[in-house]
Amino acid sequence: MAAAKTRTSTFSRNLSTAPPSHGPGLKCGPNGTVFLSSGIPDLDKILGGGFPLGSLVMVMEDAEAPHHMLLLRNFMAQGLVLGQHLLYSSPARDPRGFLGTLPSPAASKDDKSRERDPDQEKGLRIAWQYKKYFGENQLDGQRDGKHEYSNEFDLRKPLERHFINGPRIDCVSIQDSDLSTLRDRCATFLSQFPRNDGSISCAGRIAIQSFCAPQCAYSNMEWDMLSFIRSLKSMVRSSNSVAIVTFPPSLLSPSFCKRWQHMADTLLSVKAIQDEDKELAQLLTGYQDMVGFLNVHKVARINTQVPVILEATTFSIKLQKRRYLVLECLNQAPVDGSSGTSYGTSGGCSSSSKTGNLDF
Amino acid sequence: MNQRSSNLLDEALGLDQVIEPWPLRGRVVAIEDQVETSGSFVLHHLLKRSLSPNSSNVTIFIAFSQPFSHYDRILRKLGCNLVSQRDNSRFFFFDMLKLQCPDGDEGITPEGGLIALYGKIHKTISALPEISWKNVSIIIDDLSLMEVAANGSSDYVLDFLHYCRTLTSEFDCSLITLNHEDIYSSEDRPTFFIQMEYLADILIKAEPLATGLATDVHGQLTVSNKGRNKVSNFHFKVKENVVECFYPGRS
Amino acid sequence: MAESIYRALRDGALEGELAPALTIKDSVASPFALQVFSHVISQLFSSILAGKSQSRGLVVVSFSRSPSFYLDLLKNKGTDVASSNKQIQILDCYSDPLGWKDQLAGSRNFTALSNEAMVSSNAIVFREVKHMDKLYNSIIELGKGLVGGGKIRFSIAIDSADEMLRHAPVSSVARLLSNLRSHDQISSIFWLLHSDLHEARVTAVLEYLSSIVASLEPSHQLANGQRGDLENFSLIKHNSKKGKFHVRFKKRNGRVRVMSEEVHIEQSGINFASLPSEGAINQGLVPKVQFSLQLSEKERIDKANVVLPFEHQGNGKPIQIYDGRRSLVDSKHERPVSAVENVQTNENCGSGEIIYYRDSDDEMPDSDEDPDDDLDI
């Protein structure tokens, strides 16, 4: 509810009347931008709709927790489910292996039944969901008279193999390759989605994990890395795609870390939460469900000079029923039952915190 | 009304009285900002002022940070059409997003990199009629990206800036730059950054408030005008069509 | 006391000794070295014109300002620059220090139009600032062109050493400066230095090479880290108007004379004034006491900013007189239980306030009793 107020521009476009002549997974944002989903409905709402095409998202990793992987998984899975192209790059020897850990969509977002009857068997609905994405998904989307934009993902259910084995996915290991190779791969990838006025049929996603990881050969060449990010940003700007780069900031010198942060259009960071921290448990409601924190430092400001000021910038990352990733504003105890609203469940008000309370 | 609200910034810059002849002529203006508080709106404001219909200013915009469409949309909302100004030869946009200087010292040749960029600027100015020379503003967005383009050779960037500065004395035009203060604050001796502060006749710092960001106050500006020996400080709120400036507690 | 600097430069070098050399250094917190430098140039030049100085000519090596800046400066002081090209020459290392314009002119239709022609009788352009030997030769050549050969001496002003240090290693800059000092036609030499652009060692090298070091310091030190608050802002405001000016003379008899003054920056130029007396006391020799009897500079400003309840603002508003009750009414709106109470004495924030700590909870908050009750008027 709060997120709806984040964009208060005098010139923001009336979203309902904007002609949505875009492909699946895209929707119009303010100032002529087009959003694609982060794969986490809550995050989309916080950011005012999603990641704008042409933007560079940077995520500062926590050295002690793999929460950036959660963001990456959902971001990548969302793209694949919608039939968008993906370039994934990581310091692992075989980045393709990571694709096996991508989550599968749970239920359609507009289907509210999950809220009403969460324990219902989902198998049937998912099968129906799949049918939708076989080949002619665009047609289906049109026929329904609405556009598929984002899904909820069930982190315990792996993504169906046919999504992963498509020709749309390119994987690069950055462990041995040098930056110019990576730059060329990105350039080739992005050349599929040139930006020209008119409708956008297809969008691309680039996900680069742990870009400055120490096992990479270039990891001590700070200017070269910066130069790569700069050129990636300028390539992404002129294409219909979004790039996410995660990096461990502690491995960079402070001044370069700032440079990287300035480079980002959208800047996020994730933080681990201390286990069995009695004080924190008293202070925060729903501490038991939290796995970490997400901080929003900067929201992309494309085609506008007005900063997006969020009502809250720190959110707790919770795994609802160990399956669904939800983000919540931090609530300090004591709280009344109605607060602790998840961004994702604005209609079915705070099912998560309620169930959390019941579990005790 | 809108005119009123941006007066504090204009006042601090000396733009409130007359705009012709351009009050910033012959001056170097340095804008410094931080991750939390972007100062690019000051660039947009100055761009808008310099292209205002009742002046004959010419602006050369050197963009390392955003493509033309971005500035075009922003300036349109501020009431200034960059495309038509470009057609009128009052706005020159140099897209440097992909500029990458060749590595090493041998890369510093007149054919490429920043020397060529300087040559381009010089050529653009000298092609203008002589009476508009003193009304030229050169805007660079932003210096930290220029450093990246120069492979981290801040000396090369300083040399370039020196040559841009000679334009301010040669043609009496103005040089306006944006840079990010927090990049340099962790360095022991941020030579590049301090050098820029020495060069600047007017220094504009955009900072978050000590109490953090709020929806009605986006930050504070400190403007040190060395020429007029004046320092001012006020809060601001950035809107699409205007920047509101006010003294603390009077929003 | 700035007088003594300029007297030392005017009197020049003794036969067989090094020429007096002056470093004028500053930092971003108090960036007025250029103003002092310009002041020294115009003082020295007017005594050259009047024939009162040992040197008969002045060579300005300009890196950071255009030649016209100096010519305008002297013109504003009332000297006829055009006719004085026998007294002043400017080696222009500003317009094209690296020869870029030259290179571009060679490769393309690059018309180097400039006001060079206008000032050509007083300035020549130097394009190879990376070569200190060539720079040395050009300076000497220019000076000889002014005063001729023989024993007649000339002075050199270099603005700024920073640019030289950026283009050449410290050792070759040091060599250049010491060679100039020992040249037997040099009467005096002075240069500008922004000390915070260099490592401490580099500053030390240049101070070592000079016989007088004049340094500008902010009159109020800013506490680091607490940026952006209004307290800091008022200090910045003060620092933009004045600074401390310290001079260390290395005297020939081996003593060091230390002087401190205050410089006031005005639009017309700079003025020197003697420092308020306590500044001159050698702080290190004064015994330390447990409690502070003196106010720091900032405390003094804050104190002066407080508008006392009985003072009226004199701005047309009705005169407000403290009636002893108002504060109680005000404090009811605040938390009455807090042990620390703020008494805001006027509504203009940022102009000063009195914060007092109650000694104990026994002490009553401001009572509504008229404090002047016992007055018999």
- DSSP category for residue B130: G
Question: Would C348 be classed as within a structural domain?
Answer: yes
Q: How many CA atoms lie within 13 A of A166 on its CB side?
A: 20
Residues C265 and C348 in one domain: no
* Mean pLDDT of all residues in B138-142: 94
- Number of domains, chain C: 2
Q: What is the pLDDT of residue A108?
A: 53
The strand ranges marked E within A46-146 are 51-52, 56-60, 85-90, 103-105
Question: Are there at least 3 beta-carbon pairs closer than 8 Å between B and A?
Answer: yes
Instruction: Enter the CATH code of domain A3-111+124-359.
Output: 3.40.50.300
**Three-class SS state of A217:** coil
| Residue in B closest to A262 by C-alpha | B35
pLDDT value of position A5:
43
| Beta-carbon separation of A262 and B239 below 8 A | no
What integer is the mean pLDDT of A254-274? 93
Task: Inspect the interface and report whether the beta carbons of A297 and B73 lie closer than 8 Å.
Answer: no
Interface test with A, best of B97, B146, B188 (most A CBs within 10 A): B97
**Residue C312 clears pLDDT 80, i.e. is over it:** no
- Mean per-residue pLDDT over chain A, rounded: 78
C: neighbours with 3+ CB pairs under 8 Å? Answer: B
Closest-CA distance of chain A to residue B130, Å? 34
Final residue before a domain boundary, out of C255, C285, C315 = C285
Q: Are C44 and C6 in contact (CB under 8 A)?
A: yes
Say how far apart CA A345 and CA B242 lie, in whole Å.
36
Which tens digits make up the pLDDT trace of B20-49?
778 888 899 999 999 989 999 999 999 998
Q: Over 90: is that where the pLDDT of A359 sits?
A: no
Residue bearing the bigger pLDDT, B55 or A350? B55
pLDDT given at position C170: 93
Check residue B209 and give its pLDDT.
85
Question: For an interface test with C, which of B128, B160, B195 has the most C Cβ atoms less than 10 Å from its Cβ?
Answer: B195
* Count of A-B CB contacts under 8 Å: 87
Contacting chains of B (3 CB pairs or more, <8 Å) are: A, C
Listing DSSP states for B102-127 in one string gives: PSSGGG--TTSHHHHHHHHHHHHHHH
Query: A253, A305, A311: which to substitute to probe chain B, counting the most B Cβ within 10 Å?
Result: A305
Q: Is the domain of C205 the same as that of C333? A: no
Residue B221 has pLDDT above 70, yes or no: yes
Cβ–Cβ of C194/B194 closer than 8 Å? yes
Give A119's pLDDT tier (boundaries 50, 70, 90).
very low
Q: How far apart are CA C69 and CA C94, in angstroms?
A: 11
Average pLDDT over residues B135-160: 92
Distance from CA of C115 to the nearest CA of B (A): 7
A14 inside 8 A of chain B by CB: no
Q: What is the pLDDT of residue B107?
A: 54
Instruction: Return mean pLDDT, chain C.
Output: 77
Render pLDDT for A61-108 as a digit per residue (tens, 0 to 9).
Answer: 998 889 999 999 999 999 999 889 999 999 988 899 899 899 999 865
Does pLDDT of A315 surpass 70? yes
Residue C215 has which token pair?
């340094």
Record: contact B98-A306, CB cut-off 8 A: no
- pLDDT value, residue B83: 94
Task: Say whether B145 and A304 touch across the interface (CB within 8 A).
Answer: no
Chain A CB within 8 Å of residue B238 CB = yes
- Tell me, rounded to whole angstroms, the distance of Cα C356 from its chain centroid: 38
Q: Output the pLDDT for position A351.
A: 35
List the domains of chain B with CATH numbers: 15-203 (3.40.50.300)
**Chain B residue closest to A310 (CA)?**
B215
pLDDT (average), residues A10-16: 46
Whether B35 sits inside 8 A of A297 (CB atoms) is yes
* Per-residue confidence (pLDDT) for residue B110, from 0 to 100: 61
pLDDT in tens, B156-172: 999 999 999 999 988 88
- Cβ within 8 Å, pair C115-B155: no
Q: Is residue C292 part of a domain?
A: no
Q: In angstroms, rounded to a whole number, what is the distance separating the alpha carbons of residues C160 and A47? A: 50
Residues C178 and C325 in one domain: no
Task: Flag if B210 and C228 touch (Cβ within 8 Å).
Answer: yes
- pLDDT at residue A56, as a whole number: 96
The answer to whether residue C327 sits within a structural domain is yes
What integer is the mean pLDDT of A321-339? 69
Region C183-191: mean pLDDT is 92
Q: What confidence tens digit (pLDDT) does each residue in B161-205 have? A: 999 999 998 888 999 999 999 999 888 888 999 999 999 999 999
The 10s digit of each residue's pLDDT in C124-180 is 889 888 999 999 999 999 999 888 878 899 999 999 899 999 999 999 999 999 999
Which residues on B lie below 8 Å from C104 (Cβ)?
A: 110, 115, 118-119, 122
Number of Cβ atoms within 10 Å of the Cβ of C60: 26
Q: Which two tokens stand for residue A259?
A: 């440079």
pLDDT of residue C311: 56
Residue C225 has pLDDT above 70, yes or no: no
Rg of chain B (C-alpha set): 18
B130 touches chain A (CB under 8 A): no
User: Using CB atoms, which residue from B38, B100, B145 is nearest to A307?
Assistant: B38
Pair type for strands C186-194 and B58-63: unpaired
Q: What is the pTM of this model?
A: 0.79
Establish if C84 touches chain B: CB-CB under 8 angstroms: no
Is residue C290, in this structure, part of any structural domain at all? Answer: no
CB contact under 8 A, B74 and A303: yes
Can you tell me the mean pLDDT for C33-37?
90
Per-range mean pLDDT, top range of C270-279, C310-319, C336-345 = C270-279
Q: Which positions in chain C touch B233 (Cβ < 8 Å)? A: 230, 233
Whether residue C55 sits in one domain with residue C142: yes
* Same domain for C238 and C114: yes
pLDDT above 70 (res C231): no
A125 Cβ neighbours under 8 A, 6+ residues apart: A107, A108, A111, A113
Is there a contact between A223 and A174 (Cβ–Cβ < 8 Å)?
no
With a cut of 60, say whether residue A318 has pLDDT above it: yes
Residue A3: list chain B partners with CB under 8 A.
Answer: none
Mean local confidence (pLDDT), A103-128: 51
Q: Is C297 domain-assigned?
A: no
User: Is the omega angle on the peptide bond into residue C160 within 30 degrees of 0, that is, cis?
Assistant: yes
Domain boundaries along the sequence of chain A: 3-111+124-359
Which of A243-257, B90-104, C181-195 comes out lowest in average pLDDT? B90-104
State the greatest distance between any 2 C-alpha atoms of chain A, in Å, as a whole number.
Answer: 55
Q: What is the pLDDT confidence band of residue B210, given thresholds at 50, 70 and 90?
A: confident
Does any CB of chain B come closer than 8 Å to the CB of residue A6? no
B228 part of contact set with chain C, CB < 8 Å? yes
Going across the sheet that includes B58-63, the strands are B91-95, B58-63, B136-141, B174-180, B28-33, B202-207, B219-225, B230-238, B243-246
- Residue numbers in C near B162 (CB within 8 A): 97
Closest CA to B126 of C82, A319, C128, C108: C108
Identify whether residues C64 and C195 lie together within a single domain.
yes
Range of the domain at C340: 306-377
SS3 sequence, chain C? CHHHHHHHHHHCCCCCCCCCEEEEEECCCCCCHHHHHHHHHHHHHHHHHCCCCCCCCEEEEECCCCHHHHHHHHHHCCCCCHHHCCCEEEEECCCCCCCHHHHHHHHCCCCCCCCHHHHCCCEEECCCCCCHHHHHHHHHHHHHHHHCCCCCCEEEEEECHHHHHHHCCHHHHHHHHHHHHHCCCEEEEEEEEEHHHCCHHHHHHHHHCCCEEEEEEECCCCCCCCCCCHHHHHHHHHHCCEEEEEEEEECCCCCEEEEEEEEEEECCEEEEEECCHHHHCCHHHCCCCCCCCCCCHHHHHHHHHCCCCCCCCCCCCCCCCCCCCHHHHHHHHCCCCCCEEEECCCCCCCCCCEEEECCCCCCCCCCCCCCCCCCCC
Residues A309-334, mean pLDDT to the nearest whole number: 83
Using pLDDT thresholds of 50, 70 and 90, give the confidence band for residue C323: low
Residue C91 sits in a domain whose CATH number is 3.40.50.300
